[in-house]
Amino acid sequence: MTIVSSKRDRRILLVGFGQIDKSVFQILGSELPKTFPYKVIFAATLPIPAEAYYRRRHQYFSPIFIKKLKSVPHKPGDLILGIVDVDLFVPGLNFVFGQADPQSCAAIISLTRLRPSFYGGKENSQLFARRVLTEAVHELGHTLGLPHCSNRRCVMYFSNSLMDTDIKGYKFCPQCQAKLKNRLK
């Protein structure tokens, strides 16, 4: 996959589903350009799709959000990042922090399990912001064709738990950084 845009035209479109605190968009808007050579734009707010809710699980089916993101107006080469504050899942996993579709360059992240309070901890805005950024960078890495990495300190490492997310952080390992640089040529 080759990104079909000039460097100056590259954009990450942020799309909120439902109510998302403005601070999340501010964090992503200021931090993502430090990792990706893209302009970050708030593109839209969409309703949470009712058809994504699975009553038995009390969770939302992540692929439906990806499908909705594909319909957001965008240019070739844009990356689309959806943000939602509901618990997401995909078949075969109890939950996901996010999901990406490299073919459409669309990804979704969930804020719900990134909050320390979800697991009974005290609120910590700095830790929450770091987790949001980590998951956003991870899913955007997938939209650019990067696979999971075996390096536990790399943002592309698969997170089975929040501990994995906290350990890896939002930086690419040297190998994934080289892959990213190659993708962005």
Nearest partner of 132 among 38, 16, 53, 3, judged by Cα: 16
The question of whether 123 is a catalytic residue gets the answer: no
Q: Which ranges in the chain belong to alpha helices (H)?
A: 22-35, 62-70, 125-143, 162-168, 174-183
Tokens linked to 140: 């955007």
Strand partners of residue 131: none
Other CB atoms within 10 Å distance of the CB of residue 67: 16
| Whole-number Å distance between alpha carbons of 182 and 133 | 22
Do the bridges between strand 79-84 and strand 11-17 make them parallel or antiparallel, or are there none, so unpaired? parallel
Do the bridges between strand 88-89 and strand 98-101 make them parallel or antiparallel, or are there none, so unpaired? unpaired
Other CB atoms within 10 Å distance of the CB of residue 61: 18
Which residue among the candidates 31, 123, 135, 139 is catalytic per the annotation? 139
Active site residue ranges: 139
